[in-house]
Chains A and B, each alone.
Chain A
Amino acid sequence: MEIVVLPPKRKRFKKFLVKLVLFTLGRSIVSVSRFDSKVKTEIENWPENTSIIFKVLPNGPSMSLLCFNKKLYKKKVNEEEASIVIYFKNLESAFMALTAQLSTIDAFMQHRNLLKGDPAVAMSLVRCLNIVQTYLFPSLIAKRVIKRLPKIPWYRKYYGRIRVFTIGITLGI
């Protein structure tokens, strides 16, 4: 009997989408860190030069952040030197987590992610991501991926949302 080896599907569209969402997420975190006091405080408590990478295994897209002078920047960081690396085990898991089908926490509960680095900074990062997601998504979607929505007055939430979707994502400020 002849064995036919089927090559894996390329999933070009999903890969592109994950890359796009990672880029958007990176710019959004940086943007929110400029105006949201809670995110600012979290980042100020990180050790200087803390670097964070989100990477899709085995050779998928990645996105990195660097904390310098108590401010966050979206900057290329060497994986070996990163303080925190959050690996998505595969493209499918990254797609689910990055398109709000799966919460950050659930991704870890379901062992879809790996974490390298200090859990204390990782927990602080999760709190920041919760706030960023509150600005990015309408409450109905945010509630599905966050245990308890952070309390943000409605006018600040809408101001933040407009800011992130205009100059935040396009200019990274």
Chain B
Amino acid sequence: MALHFFEFISPVKIYSGYNSLEQLPHELKELGVNNPFIITDQGINKVGLLSQVQEITGLKDVLYYDRVPQDSSRLILQEIAEVYRKNHCDGLIALGGGSVIDTAKATNLLISEGSNDFLDFVGLDILKHELKPLIVIPTTAGTGSEVTGVAVVKDPDRDIKMALSSEFLFAKSAFIDPRMTLGLPPRLTAATAMDALTHAIESYICLQKNPLSDHFSKKAIELIVSNLLPLLQGENTEERRLALANAACLAGIALANSIAGVVHSLGHALGGVCHVPHGEAMNIFLPAGLEYNKKKVGTLIGELLLPLAGKQVFKNTAEGDRVDKTIQVIIELKEQLYKITKLPRNLNDTGLSVDQEVLEKIATTAINDGSVAYNPEEIEFKDALTILKRVLNT
């Protein structure tokens, strides 16, 4: 089932670099936004990032909503849309991590379509109209949501995460400014970086991969492995932060065009059922997911050894051994992250008590996740359960 045809889309205008936020007022003017509405969460507000952005951009009197939870539900989206409509705003600014950005995208959908229920739009490529201008300022370096056309929102009735995907969900512009991630705690830095690494790796091996997304994936991997550990070991500089944020952005572009596979299916399911943060779930499942797919795409996994471990290791590893070496390098990275930040390596480390019933619920949810379709190897219930059991303790 080789891909003989592909589409590639990346319509977001990216402002990346030191002091990039200073250009936000001009961008708002270009987009014709006079009364923007900022969506953020309380954590961002508490650590002063909201006021920092307001000060830098001069948007001091702009209306904001800062109660976005980790997983937004239908009610939250309705509440935000209501505030937006009441105040006659004409554009959105998402300031935060994946949850905030996805919430802003889904809210934009409700506002632009005049609807109250995002479930009306669940599906793939079914939107038909342009949405209101959305500007994204990521405060983590991982989700890449600033450059994807996907919004993941929780359906609390069924404990699952629903994905909306459309080219109209893309933001108009993204501002990647290292000042926004400089204060990110080590464990969150590690988790979000592993999320970005998973995006880059899965985009490279999954079925919708294409020559353009491949390049974004490889560069993202290079940037992550050369900056993450030095940063966590004390070099918390703007340069390293910018490199990680750019890596997340590159991996996000690859993901938007290639989509993910089994690691994401299981990660979404674990997040939905047990509320494990997405980045931590990615860290837990990544090696096991690669192991599962190595029969079908071993060569591709082996090719990733070059950006992951560098020329010397790649050259010194026999071609047939590269796939296992790639997985080994990721496992070693996980171990180091655990030593420095206590980032969970397996389900046991998360402190959850997962019995057979919970594992089965996660497996059932995982095989119904849309990303299963993009995984090279078929995933049935028993396959998902096998992977889950493998990551219980290792």
Residues of A within 8 A of B (CB): 103, 105-106, 108-111, 113-124, 126-127, 144-148
Q: Which of B125, B162, B208, B373 contacts A126 (CB 8 A)?
A: B373
Q: Which of A103, A120, A145 contacts B368 (CB 8 A)?
A: A120
CB under 8 Å from chain A, chain B span 230-283: none
Task: Report whether A108 and B124 are in contact in the complex, using a CB–CB cutoff of 8 Å.
Answer: yes
Task: Report whether A109 and B122 are in contact in the complex, using a CB–CB cutoff of 8 Å.
Answer: no
What are 8 of the A-B contact pairs (CB < 8 Å)? A109-B374, A114-B126, A117-B123, A119-B163, A120-B368, A121-B368, A123-B370, A148-B378
Looking at the assembled complex, report how far the CB atom of B192 sits from the nearest CB atom of chain A, in whole angstroms: 25
Looking at the assembled complex, report how far the CB atom of A93 sits from the nearest CB atom of chain B, in whole angstroms: 10
Most central of A108, A109, A113, A145 by chain B CB within 10 Å: A109
CA distance A146 to B1 in the complex (A): 8
- Partner-binding segment picked from B2-10, B52-60, B348-356: B2-10
Q: A111-B7, A119-B162 given; name 6 further pairs at CB < 8 Å.
A: A105-B1, A109-B208, A115-B123, A118-B122, A123-B369, A127-B380
Task: Report whether A109 and B125 are in contact in the complex, using a CB–CB cutoff of 8 Å.
Answer: no
Residues of B near A118 (CB, < 8 A) are 122, 162
Looking at the assembled complex, report how far the CB atom of B377 sits from the nearest CB atom of chain A, in whole angstroms: 7
Is B131 an interface residue when CB atoms closer than 8 A count as contact?
Answer: no
Residue of B nearest to A111 (CB): B7
Is B134 an interface residue when CB atoms closer than 8 A count as contact?
Answer: no
Q: Which of B5, B162, B367 contacts A123 (CB 8 A)?
A: B367
How would you classify the secondary structure of chain B's contact residues: helix, strand, loop or mixed? loop
CA distance A109 to B8 in the complex (A): 12
CB under 8 Å from chain A, chain B span 1-46: 1, 3-7
Q: How many residues of B contact A (CB 8 A)?
A: 27
Residues of B near A115 (CB, < 8 A) are 123-126
CA distance A126 to B378 in the complex (A): 11
Task: Report whether B7 and A105 are in contact in the complex, using a CB–CB cutoff of 8 Å.
Answer: no
Task: Report whether A109 and B3 are in contact in the complex, using a CB–CB cutoff of 8 Å.
Answer: yes
Residues of A near B124 (CB, < 8 A) are 108, 113-115, 119
Residues of A near B162 (CB, < 8 A) are 118-119
Looking at the assembled complex, report how far the CB atom of A24 sits from the nearest CB atom of chain B, in whole angstroms: 23
Task: Report whether A106 and B3 are in contact in the complex, using a CB–CB cutoff of 8 Å.
Answer: yes
Looking at the assembled complex, report how far the CB atom of B75 sits from the nearest CB atom of chain A, in whole angstroms: 19
Residues of B near A103 (CB, < 8 A) are 1
Is B207 an interface residue when CB atoms closer than 8 A count as contact?
Answer: yes
Is B372 an interface residue when CB atoms closer than 8 A count as contact?
Answer: yes
Residues of B near A122 (CB, < 8 A) are 370
Looking at the assembled complex, report how far the CB atom of B115 sits from the nearest CB atom of chain A, in whole angstroms: 14
Task: Report whether B373 and A108 are in contact in the complex, using a CB–CB cutoff of 8 Å.
Answer: yes
Interface flags for B368-388 (1: CB within 8 Å of A; 0: not) read: 111011101110100000000
Is B160 an interface residue when CB atoms closer than 8 A count as contact?
Answer: yes
Looking at the assembled complex, report how far the CB atom of B10 sits from the nearest CB atom of chain A, in whole angstroms: 15
Residues of B near A145 (CB, < 8 A) are 1
CA distance A105 to B124 in the complex (A): 13
* Known contacts A105-B373, A111-B7, A124-B368; is-contact A116 B1 (Cβ 8 Å): no
Residues of A near B367 (CB, < 8 A) are 123, 127
Residues of A near B123 (CB, < 8 A) are 114-117, 119
CA distance A111 to B162 in the complex (A): 20
CA distance A11 to B160 in the complex (A): 43
Task: Report whether B1 and A106 are in contact in the complex, using a CB–CB cutoff of 8 Å.
Answer: yes
| Top 4 A-B pairs, shortest CB-CB distance | A120-B368, A148-B378, A115-B124, A119-B370
Residues of A near B125 (CB, < 8 A) are 111, 114-115
Task: Report whether A147 and B377 are in contact in the complex, using a CB–CB cutoff of 8 Å.
Answer: yes
Interface flags for B115-132 (1: CB within 8 Å of A; 0: not) read: 000000011111000000
Residues of B near A105 (CB, < 8 A) are 1, 207, 373-374
CA distance A111 to B3 in the complex (A): 11
CB under 8 Å from chain A, chain B span 325-372: 367-370, 372
Task: Report whether B122 and A117 are in contact in the complex, using a CB–CB cutoff of 8 Å.
Answer: yes
Looking at the assembled complex, report how far the CB atom of A14 sits from the nearest CB atom of chain B, in whole angstroms: 19
* Known contacts A109-B207, A114-B125; is-contact A119 B369 (Cβ 8 Å): yes
CA distance A115 to B370 in the complex (A): 11
CA distance A148 to B296 in the complex (A): 11
Looking at the assembled complex, report how far the CB atom of A169 sits from the nearest CB atom of chain B, in whole angstroms: 27
Task: Report whether A123 and B126 are in contact in the complex, using a CB–CB cutoff of 8 Å.
Answer: no
Residues of A near B369 (CB, < 8 A) are 119-120, 123
Looking at the assembled complex, report how far the CB atom of A82 sits from the nearest CB atom of chain B, in whole angstroms: 11
CA distance A145 to B378 in the complex (A): 12
Looking at the assembled complex, report how far the CB atom of A92 sits from the nearest CB atom of chain B, in whole angstroms: 12
* Known contacts A105-B373, A110-B3, A123-B368; is-contact A147 B122 (Cβ 8 Å): no
Task: Report whether A147 and B126 are in contact in the complex, using a CB–CB cutoff of 8 Å.
Answer: no
Looking at the assembled complex, report how far the CB atom of B125 sits from the nearest CB atom of chain A, in whole angstroms: 5
Residue of A nearest to B210 (CB): A109
